[in-house]
Each structure stands twice: as structure tokens, then as C-alpha cells.
Amino acid sequence: MRIFPLLAAIAVSALMYMAIFERDALLGLAQGAAQPPVPAVDADRTDTASPSDVAEPARVKVVVQRSAAAPLASAVIVRGQTTAARQVAVKAETSAVVVSAPLRKGATVKAGDVLCELDPGTRGAQQAEAQARRNEAQSRVPEAQARVAEAQARLDETLIKLNAAQKLGEGGFSSQTTLATAEAAVAAARAALSSAEAGLNAAHSGIEAAEAAVASTQAEIDRLTLTAPFEGLLESDTAELGSLLQTGSLCAQVIQLNPIKLVGFVPETEVDRVSLGAQAQARLAAGDREIAGTVTFISRASDPTTRTFEVEIEVPNPDLSIRDGQTAEIAIASAGVEAHLLPQSALTLNDDGTLGVRLIDAANTVSFAAVTLVRDTPEGIWVTGLPEQADVIVLGQEYVTAGVTVTPTFRDEAPE
């Protein structure tokens, strides 16, 4: 049996035991060996350290900006687009062939200008026939009136004869047969009068039917001329000469651009800040052109998908330079506020996750103030919630907390 492997195993086991179970004792021995001997202290010496020998704790240096509240013309910013004030597709109401020369798109038209003229065909003959039937119906009225008068006279005659027969019968000078004959004659006369009155009513009805036929043919003829409903521009060529237009076929597209509308969608959190008649300015994406107008409509119902409210702004466009469908950034004026303009980097969060900034007071003690964002601009961010005068930490605010005293360097002062 070899003794050396056994001794090596015992040594390794002892080292592992000391390293695991007696670790603290080993560390103490190592530290004691590394420390130099402590010199003896004279018990009779009574010197103590002076206050000047005690170093003050180092303060964190921060950069501070003195900010004063300034009036800010608050506005609701939305994105939208231009929309024509009116736009209509002029379509045919009857079927016919176009007999007028076409107008080209881009042309200016006024209300009532002819856009498409259709071939009348046999519609003129149909109108003449309807007028003839109306004249015929009108000529029957005097005849029917004469028959009514004749029937009325005969009824009056038979009533007189009936009255005479009744009186003679009461005196015994007339027979019952004569009286019955007179009564039958009265009934026949009344029936003839009713028939004559019915004939007169039929004559009047014939006149009304004929006039309706005349009006229908005239309306059909009027449909042959398609005119512009309002002043505007043609967005398409009118129908070509010789083309057949069916009912519902497009003749032309007319668009009105003066005035023009700006349509945007305001979030539900901002809609209460918008009012009818409010002034609005917009910057068009094309050429950065600025235009101005007034709010003319605010939707009362939100879009179910985006939860936004439609707002329309009317803008004058006398030269028609603003086109339909241009993208615009719209600023709608609302009540102004007092706000501070700060660098966006000055914003921070406290332990509760509240957005705000850190301030210092006259004693250079740090405090936290929550703020509300109003507007983001290239120069900085406008916020509310601060006093009128505030010293805001703009650099180093992430390394301090409320209650800490700091060494400030103001932005308008040279650093030490």
C-alpha cells in the first residue's frame, strides 16, 4: 500500500474543511498578518482634532436655469386636410345621345351653364300630343256643364208637376196613377242630374290628367339639358359629342373651392377647448404655406374607432390656389395660459412615476414639482404647474433627490 496518495487525500480534505467551515478564522489571521503594528499612544497627550481638520461632505454640482412664466397663446394642434366646400357629380336623368360639344376639365363654370345637351328625339311630339289631349279635355267641360243645367231644369219641372198632382189628389181631382207618374218623373230627373254632375267631374279629371301628361313630357324635355348646379371648376371632361348617356351616366364632375374647408379630428381630451367661431391657422405640407380661417362645425358624435371629433374650418380661397386633399397641420386658438419654456431634457420622474422637474430654493435645497405639458416646440417644451419664478435644474437632476443641498451653477454665470 502506497502512503503518499493517502497523505495527499488527507491534506486536500483538511484544506477544504478549513476553506469552507473555518473561512472567517482564516480571513482574520490573514488580516492580522497584513496590518502593521499600532504605535503606542502616550496616555498623557490630550491633543484633539480641530474643527478645521474635519472635511465637509462634497456637494453635487448642478446646472440651474432661472425661468419666468410667460403668456402662451394656447392652441389645439391637429392634423387634417383640405376639402372642397361642395362637390357634385352631374348625372343624366334620362337616356339620350349627347349633341353638345364637350367642355374640358379645369374650365370654370357658373351656376346654370350648360354642361351636356341631349337629343330630344320624339319627346317634342309626345308633348304636343299631351297638349292636344288637354285641349280636348277642356272642351268637354262646357258640354258637361250644359248637361248638368238641363238635368237641373228637368228636375225642377218634375218637382212642380209632382206638387200639382199632390194638391189635386188631396181635393179628389187627380188619380193615384197621376201622382205615381209624377213621383217617378222626379226620381228620373234626379238620376239624370247625378249623371250629368258625374260627367262634369269626369271632364275636370280628364283636364287634370292631360295637364299631368303635359307636365311629365315637359320635365322629360327639361332633363335633356344638364347644367352646373353652382359656380366652380370641372374636375373631368363633360360627356363627348355623340355618346349615349343612360339614366345615371356621368356628364361632368363639378367642384367648388372658394371657400375651401379644412377638416381635422380633435381628440376627446381636447375637444372642449375648441369652440365655434374660433380662429385657426394651418400650414400646408406643400410649400409650408400658412392659411387662416374660422371654425364652422364641431361634430357632436365621435368616431367609434379613433374616439376623435370632426372639426371643419372655412378658409377663403379666392384665387383657387388651395387644392382639394392637401395635408395641413392645424392650430385652433383657445384660452391662453402662463407657462415656462424649458429644455426637454430637464424633465424627470420622481419615485411615484410623476413627470416633473427638480427645483432649488434660496438655500440651494432641492425640491420636486410636477408639471403639465402644454406644447412641444423646436426651442423647448412649454409646461405649467410651476411658480411664476423658478430655478430649474437642467443638468444633474438625475443625481439628486428632494431635500439634498447642491452647488448650483446658473446658465447665465461662468462655471467655477
pLDDT of residue 174: 66
pLDDT of residue 52: 46
pLDDT of residue 416: 39
pLDDT of residue 296: 94
Which H, E and C letters describe the chain, residue by residue?
A: CCCHHHHHHHHHHHHHHHHHHCHHHHHHHHHHHHCCCCCCCCCCCCCCCCHHHCCCCCCEEEEEEEEECEEECCEEEEEEEEEEEEEEEEECCCCEEECCCCCCCCCEECCCCEEEEECCCCHHHHHHHHHHHHHHHHHHHHHHHHHHHHHHHHHHHHHHHHHHHHHHHHHCCCCHHHHHHHHHHHHHHHHHHHHHHHHHHHHHHHHHHHHHHHHHHHHHHHCCEEECCCCEEECCCCCCCCCEECCCCEEEEEEEEEEEEEEEEEECCCHHHCCCCCEEEEEECCCCCEEEEEEEEECCCCCCCCCEEEEEEEECCCCCCCCCCCEEEEEEECCCEEEEEECHHHCEECCCCCEEEEEECCCCEEEEEECEEEEEECCEEEEECCCCEEEEEEECHHHCCCCCEEEEEECCCCCC
pLDDT of residue 24: 62
pLDDT of residue 155: 84
Residues of the chain where predicted confidence (pLDDT) is lower than 50 = 1, 33-34, 38-55, 413-416
pLDDT of residue 357: 94
pLDDT of residue 27: 58
pLDDT of residue 142: 86
pLDDT of residue 393: 93
pLDDT in tens, 361-373: 999 999 999 998 8
pLDDT of residue 104: 93
